[in-house]
Structure 1
Amino acid sequence: MASILDAPLSLYSIPVAWLLAYIPQVIKVTTASKFTTYDNLDPRTNVSKISAKDKVDDRLKAKVARADAAHQNGLESFPVWSIAVLVANYAGLASRSINNTALVYLGSRVVYNYIYINQSKQWHGSSRTLVWNVGVGAALSLLIRSANLVSSRT
């Protein structure tokens, strides 16, 4: 009996991953806008402008910086994920397998963003790294399984 996971849904994970990379950006801008005028002419200086403000609580400065870092990390991992999904579909991996891996990857990005933005203890950083490894591992597993499938046909 076919399930929704047997449908080729993994391609939808690409725009979802892109959106997940931008959620920290929204949090950064929203938080920063409470303390300074957001400079859209030179947006990459906003974090340093918040950091330089004496009247802003250090915890909020740190949260803005972490949200920016989570956003950058999402953008850095996005190409690898996108390529992995495209390659897996092209290679002909089973849709259920790709979809399950996509759920792992997307779930790891949600958890990663949450931990990164809200972390306050050293063990949170270790947890974040573990979650990052799960996401990267998901992408790499798609690439490796795809390569194995293609090479087995030759």
Structure 2
Amino acid sequence: MSIAYWCILVTALLPYLWVFIAKRSGDRYNNRNPRAWMAKQEGNYKVQRANAAHLNGFEAFPAFVAGVLMAQLAGVPASLVTPLAVAFVVARIFHGWFYLLDMHAMRSLSWLLGMLCAVGLMVLAALRVA
């Protein structure tokens, strides 16, 4: 199960990679007022896409964490949890990358694959408990 826990850590940190890219891609970043700085990046689509990947990373995180912890608590074998956890991380990396490259169809597909992994973990937990 420790690989799945490492996946949680990676997934927790991944949004900060995307926001780092956003901050490095726009006009000189102002840490005194980051939200106002972001609002001024209206025409900079790379900054906007990186910031959107950042925010979406936080949105996807709770479902994944819940899935891993539910599976662990329900006693789902690590041989089922680990591949789903790793696949989630890979999907989320591609999701952010596709966001930056403005590949909307691939971004949506990687989002779906990641969410299916998180839901799959929850379903495995529910089936195990039932």
Q: Secondary structure at the match of 2:46?
A: helix
The answer as to 2:10 corresponding to 1:16 is: yes
Bigger CA radius of gyration? 1
TM score, norm. by length of structure 1: 0.80
Shift of 1:45: 1.9
Greater Cα shift, 107-116 or 41-50: 41-50
Deviations 1:11-41 (A, max 9, x none): 1111110111211111011112xx22x2223
Structure 2 counterpart of 1:135? 114
Shift of 1:108: 0.1
Shift of 1:42: 2.1
The correspondence of residues 43-58 of structure 1 with structure 2, limited to 5 A, is 43-51=34-42, 58=43
Structure 2 counterpart of 1:54? none
Aligned counterpart for 1:82 among listed residues 39, 61, 65: 65
Aligned residues: 130
The correspondence of residues 1-154 of structure 1 with structure 2, limited to 5 A, is 8-32=2-26, 35-36=27-28, 38-51=29-42, 58=43, 61-119=44-102, 124-151=103-130
Amino acid in structure 2 at the alignment position of 1:108: A
Shift of 1:49: 1.4
TM score, norm. by length of structure 2: 0.94
- For structure 1, the residue ranges without an aligned partner over 5 or more in a row are 1-6, 52-57
